A and B are shown apart, each in its own frame.
Chain A
């Protein structure tokens, strides 16, 4: 009987496992495989030439890769940190019983539900030379000229981070809200009786109890922030001067647009490795907490 149950379990898992294999595992293995070859569409007739780790050696000496790498890290760290703080504030607000609570929860989701490319186009128009922000600022008496928000390295970087925070905070806050709703109210009542203030309650009850949800949410956001692509492509196309190009943008254009499949694969694998290391760190910290 027990065996039959086990078999049934595996059978039920099979479709999902098959799907993951076909859609994720095989392409990943193929990408890793391709990264050891000199393989370019321009020389498709010559086929693939095995070159060992040469592509990886090239990655390490590629200064543009390092520019995109550090920018991706900064982008991820800043956006996820701010999304966490703002998302937590929104989630705490959404737990309050107020009229129209359901509607508010639904409306908050709109930016997240919007395709990234559409959000990118909207924000590029907001920051455009004749865009919304410059029009608003020109009403001020001391503003003489329009500012090129997307034509300056630092302001372009800030602009794409603002757009990403706007787009992804709802996702963060909704997952955090689901965590907050599972916390038993009695803890707070007991704490109040014991004389603990709001601030103390937040750090001693809310944070520890919402922590598992929070860690998973942060992990999801880090992984997706590291892969950011369409939002930035639509806003700056990686400019000015390549300063907002992320690793995934560089990898995708190397692979598809430049037709350098070997090197593009190596760049993707680098991104994969970083994501895996970060994920392992988070999964590990989750495990130790659960214990």
Chain B
């Protein structure tokens, strides 16, 4: 018995020696830890070329989980414990406010030259900018855009709609003209998730809705306009019938399958829809064009941020700059179709060969608007998702939904 205990104790001691070994510092290269998106091959290649260019820095890559919520949990857990084990990380465009207000991320203004700053599409950088300071460098762009059936618009002599009223009007003309019971005017992702909130916000902005929070940090969300936006969504499904009555059960796959089957004239979707709609399995290949949503579309995409608890901030910022450089973004475009954030990719003169379609992305990207630069965004958005879903699934009237929305949001920010 004694022997057994002794063996266990020796094993425990051995474990602690190994665990402690890694924290001992030696002279030599600085090692930074990067929590990156799980595009393993791409990230490893970028890291290898970064390390080749910067022999003094080693990058330890930690894969983030596959779902966005789990990624936030992972990053938040490290930052909350003020952990030094994460130096630089990839973050969603709607998270910076959470980290900035908590003081968890480092401003990067000292590390970026005006040329570097000017290279980014303004709107993409705006998601990471609070009170004039930049806390992140976007490396992957995204925005909610308006897709349209170019063939049908030209058939009826219509132009790209500039307002939601025009979407309604043109949809009716085309639906009447085509007389196809499977054809709908306007589609979007209606299941209760973040994209539904983005779609709602685009309508809210188009109806004149102000930002959620103004420059002084006051909450300025307009519930009256929110109600009008919900009314619009509801009437397009139930009164006017240009959206399917079942839109509330449309997830990304369902929406995209219906667009690809040629059942939808206009639709609100992220940039990633473009390749699907114009892919080989799509019956509308070549005629599904992209434009800016009326007024504004919600910003998406990912950027790099440096932890305030990092012990190697300079090296971390250097890596962030490299990961968002032209070279890395080109690699990301080639390997995993990541949409770049630099102006140079969208200029007809400088767009890389084979990626000419990117030029059409510039219009939606230049009207991209941050969803809400408030640390409470995640909670507010989840309330919007619930109420918008309730309205388009015919569970509540817009007036009831807005009442619940206000109560819900007040309980979150109060």
User: Which residue numbers of A lie inside 8 Å of B, CB to CB?
Assistant: 8, 11, 41-45, 58, 62-64, 124-125, 128-130, 145-153, 236-243, 245, 253-254, 256-260
Contact = CB atoms under 8 A, between A and B. Distances in A.
Given A42-B375, A238-B192, A257 B249 contact: no
A140 B52 CA distance: 64
B253 interface: yes
A124 B251 contact: yes
A259 B375 contact: yes
17 contacts: A41-B76, A41-B80, A41-B375, A42-B102, A128-B249, A129-B249, A146-B246, A148-B249, A150-B191, A151-B249, A238-B386, A241-B389, A241-B395, A242-B390, A253-B69, A256-B73, A258-B379
Given A64-B408, A260-B379, 16 more contacts: A42-B101, A45-B102, A58-B411, A129-B246, A148-B245, A151-B248, A152-B248, A153-B395, A236-B192, A239-B385, A239-B389, A240-B390, A241-B192, A241-B387, A241-B395, A259-B378
Contacts of B258: 130
Contact of B191 (A8, A237, A245): A237
Interface residues of B, number: 45
B102 A256 contact: no
Nearest to A244: B192
Given A44-B80, A62-B411, A129-B250, A240 B393 contact: yes
B179 interface: no
A194 B407 CA distance: 67
Contacts of A236: 191-192
Interface of B: 1, 5, 69, 72-73, 76, 80, 98, 101-104, 190-193, 245-251, 253-254, 257-258, 375-376, 378-379, 382, 385-387, 389-391, 393, 395-396, 407-408, 411-412
- Of A41, A64, A149, most buried by chain B (CB within 10 Å of CB) is A41
Contact of B72 (A64, A245, A257): A257
B254 A129 contact: yes
A89 B386 CA distance: 39
Q: Name the 6 nearest CB pairs between A and B, nearest first.
A: A239-B192, A151-B249, A241-B390, A148-B249, A148-B246, A42-B375
A239 B191 contact: yes
Contacts of A152: 248-249, 393
A83 B391 CA distance: 34
Nearest to A254: B379
A259 B378 CA distance: 9
Given A151-B190, A243-B395, A258-B376, A41 B1 contact: no
Contacts of B247: 151
A215 to B, nearest CB: 36
A145 B246 CA distance: 10
B261 to A, nearest CB: 9
Given A128-B254, A129-B250, A242 B389 contact: yes
Contacts of B390: 240-243
A156 B332 CA distance: 39
A152 B245 CA distance: 11
Contacts of A146: 246
A58 B412 CA distance: 11
Contacts of B412: 258, 260
Given A43-B101, A128-B251, A242 B80 contact: no
Given A44-B102, A240-B389, A259 B76 contact: yes
B192 A130 contact: no
Contacts of B250: 129, 151
A64 B246 CA distance: 25
- Of B80, B98, B248, B253, most buried by chain A (CB within 10 Å of CB) is B248
B192 A237 contact: yes
A152 B378 CA distance: 25
A240 B411 CA distance: 21
Contacts of A153: 393, 395
A259 B98 contact: yes
A170 B96 CA distance: 45
Given A42-B375, A129-B254, A256-B73, A149 B101 contact: no
A253 B245 CA distance: 29
Contacts of A145: 246
